[in-house]
């Protein structure tokens, strides 16, 4: 397969990851038996850097922030896929950075979360690595001796 196909799949997986992160992670509810304890702890306000916030504020803000970055990544990967149609080898360094980032993201998710995001992030890494491997440089320009002769009005 061509590099741009792997990048499009990575883009779609990243967008799905963004949506599921938002639905389950940001706006999901804890189990009822722990909800009361979590709510009391999370809503306790404290002053920090001249403002008063709670852990719930930080949780919501970071959760929405991750959603924003995942969505932005999905669009950037889609754009890189379009660029890879013309010259896949030129996007390799950018795709490599994304692959390293999503690998680190997967390790973070493994350490602090659960299997679903880890699996999604590793699938994204696999698509990105496949795109790097599949990326071929532009065909070199044919020498003039191999090029088709120009047609003129006299020929």
In whole angstroms, give the CA distance from residue 30 to residue 52. 24
- Whether 147 is in a domain gets the answer no
pLDDT given at position 29: 78
- Whether 113 is in a domain gets the answer yes
In whole angstroms, give the CA distance from residue 13 to residue 143. 42
Q: 100 - beta bridge partners?
A: none
Name the strand (E) or helix (H) holding 47.
Answer: strand 46-48
Domain ranges, residue 15: 3-134
* Burial of residue 59, with CB atoms counted within 10 A of its CB: 0-12 exposed, 13-18 middle, 19 or more buried: middle
- Whether 152 is in a domain gets the answer no
As for how many domains the chain has, the answer is 1
- Whether 55 is in a domain gets the answer yes
Structure-block tokens of residue 69:
């970055």
- Whether 67 is in a domain gets the answer yes
pLDDT given at position 103: 98
Structure-block tokens of residue 93:
């360094």
Structure-block tokens of residue 13:
């997986």
In whole angstroms, give the CA distance from residue 75 to residue 26. 21
- Whether 141 is in a domain gets the answer no
- Which pLDDT tens digits describe the chain residue by residue (155 residues)? 899 999 999 999 999 999 999 998 888 877 777 777 777 888 889 999 999 999 889 889 999 999 999 999 999 999 999 999 999 999 999 999 999 999 999 999 999 999 999 999 999 999 999 999 999 876 533 455 555 565 666 65
- Whether 151 is in a domain gets the answer no
- Whether 22 is in a domain gets the answer yes
Asked if 73 and 14 touch (Cβ cutoff 8 Å), the reply is: yes
In whole angstroms, give the CA distance from residue 77 to residue 81. 6
């Amino acid at each position: 397969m061509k590099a741009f196909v792997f990048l499009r799949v990575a883009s779609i997986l990243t967008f799905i990851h963004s949506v599921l992160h938002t639905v389950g992670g940001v706006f999901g509810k804890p189990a009822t038996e722990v909800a009361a304890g979590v709510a009391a702890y999370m809503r306790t306000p404290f002053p920090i850097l001249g403002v008063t916030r709670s852990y719930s504020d930080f949780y919501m803000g970071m959760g929405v922030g991750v959603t924003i970055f995942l969505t932005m990544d999905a669009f950037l990967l889609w754009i890189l896929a379009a660029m890879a149609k013309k010259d896949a080898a030129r996007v390799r360094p950018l795709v490599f950075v994304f692959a390293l980032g999503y690998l680190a993201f997967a390790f973070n998710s493994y350490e602090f979360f659960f299997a679903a995001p880890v699996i999604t992030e590793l699938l994204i890494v696999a698509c990105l690595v496949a795109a790097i491997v599949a990326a071929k440089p532009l065909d070199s320009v044919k020498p003039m001796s191999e090029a088709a002769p120009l047609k003129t009005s006299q020929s």
